[in-house]
Structure 1
Amino acid sequence: MSTRLLIVEDDENLRETLADFLELEDFIVEQAATVAEAKPILESATIDLAVLDIMLPDGDGYELSQWIRNQSIETRILMLTARGLEKDVVEGFESGADDYVSKPYRSKELLMRIKALLRRPVAVVETNTIEINGRTVDWRSMTAKYNDDELHLTSRAFSILKLLLEHKNEVLSREAILDACWGKDVYVDNRTIDNFISNLKKQFDLTHDNSYYIKSVRGVGYCLMNERKNT
């Protein structure tokens, strides 16, 4: 079965050029110039990967990405945009994107990114809320509570927690966490990631005594385990 992609880009020349390139690589390519055009395609067709521009005439790629995740539409999301500042990259991942590529881009590198994403399982948070060891996380409002007391998490901490949940029982390297939550080619000391993980463990009591716990894999990274505990 052929792989179906959706390009959401308001610049017709850029959209057509990318579509032609991807069709030569044997992908079926759907196109949309606006959020309004993209939504019916996403709802009615199986799209394996959506390539989203951020700046669109009737909204932006962040909103569309968040809408896709809230609708539990099973597609991978790649942001392709001229906005390459760190805060833009972070916002892209927080909205639910799986990867983020800045313009101008190299066609072959973009193709490799797309193929790599297609090998990964689709990341979908099925509900807006989840309970983790008695703490309630609301993804839509980006809040977390324990016994009605709010837990103070940064947007980066939410991104890391979401990534770990989407890949629960799977070991993630520090490099994978860095690429997903800070962006590729961004230098962050490994100790920074370790500190975020340490804080999450404390706030959510992610120890072996609970159903959710974080396992450290020496020299590799971290794994969020989810097991039923005997009561």
Structure 2
Amino acid sequence: MSEKIKLLLAEDEPSLGQIVKESLETRNFEVIHALNGEEAYELYVKEKPEILVLDVMMPKKDGFTLAKEIREENNSIPIIFLTAKSQTKDVIDGFQHGGNDYLKKPFSMEELIVRVYNLLDRVSLKRNLEKIPIGEFTLNYEKQKLYYKNDAELLTHRECELLYYLIEKKNEVLDRTFILNKLWGNDDFFNARSMDVFISKLRKKLKKDPSVEIINIRGYGYKLTC
């Protein structure tokens, strides 16, 4: 049997936490369950998990605060937020606090498991990438930094992943539906609005080099030209 994947689950509702824990343990995961944000941080430091599944609304320390603290020392560990909130602002806040994915309650275990494996696959494929040139910029995926000459700017996980896919399809159209399903999980209205916000942020970060531009291809997606 392959080595178990260590996952930290922070969920303050004991019954839901137990269901998720037991379901994941049948899929070759070693699950460490914390009942609040402070306990989750202590277990993160002690156990060194490979992926985090964090409830947003927790006692002692909420999921967003916990993720922000973890991101200050670890830019690469995948983080999935679990929450009953579903407004566009809540989704955007989750990504801005370092989340890679956002699963709305109630959710199916199959959906959670698929998203966990997708994130682990992406991290595994990209963790050893060298710096990627784009015009006068260089993207370091591993460190989530965008370099311009001697200046470096730290990107959020969502910004880094979106820019990576744009660069991968440089001078071609990045299909809107594809990237929404790939990075956001589905192409509903709220996720589409969230992606538009991230595209705007990337445009601002790239404006130092006039030769690099993200073009909106109406009805299809986006094209990064260089």
Q: Which residue of 28, 31, 40 maps to 2:30?
A: 28
Residue 98 (1) aligns with residue 100 (2): yes
Take 1:161 and 1:74, find their aligned partners in 2: how far apart are those partners? Answer: 13
- The match for 1:43 is 45
In the TM superposition, structure 1's runs of 4+ consecutive aligned residues that sit over 2 Å from their partners are: 122-127, 129-139, 158-209, 213-225
Ranges in structure 2 where 5+ consecutive residues have no aligned partner:
128-140
Take 2:197 and 2:40, find their aligned partners in 1: how far apart are those partners? Answer: 39
- Correspondence 1:199-218 to 2 at 5 A: 200-201=202-203, 204-205=206-207, 207=209, 213=212
Q: Which structure has greater helix proportion?
A: 2
1:107-143 residue CA offsets vs partner (Å, 9 max, x unmatched): 212221112112111788748x86546776466xxxx
Take 1:204 and 1:30, find their aligned partners in 2: how far apart are those partners? Answer: 40
Amino acid at match of 1:63: T
- Correspondence 1:125-164 to 2 at 5 A: 126=143, 131-132=147-148, 137=153, 161-164=159-162
Take 2:224 and 2:143, find their aligned partners in 1: how far apart are those partners? Answer: 20
Residue 17 (1) aligns with residue 19 (2): yes
- The match for 1:8 is 10
Ranges in structure 1 where 5+ consecutive residues have no aligned partner:
140-157, 226-231
The count of corresponding residues between Structure 1 and Structure 2 is 203
- The match for 1:65 is 67
* Superposition TM-score, scaled by structure 2 size: 0.69
Q: Which residue of 168, 171, 176 maps to 1:170?
A: 168
SS at match of 1:55: coil
Q: Does structure 1 conserve the Cα–Cα contact (< 8 Å) formed by 2:88 and 2:191?
A: no
Gap change, CA 1:223 and 1:188, over 3 Å in 2: farther
Take 2:123 and 2:185, find their aligned partners in 1: how far apart are those partners? Answer: 19
Identity %: 29
- The match for 1:113 is 115
SS at match of 1:5: strand
Q: Does structure 1 conserve the Cα–Cα contact (< 8 Å) formed by 2:11 and 2:54?
A: yes
Take 2:37 and 2:193, find their aligned partners in 1: how far apart are those partners? Answer: 39
CA RMSD of aligned residues (A): 4.0
Take 2:149 and 2:178, find their aligned partners in 1: how far apart are those partners? Answer: 25
Take 2:78 and 2:157, find their aligned partners in 1: how far apart are those partners? Answer: 16
- The match for 1:75 is 77
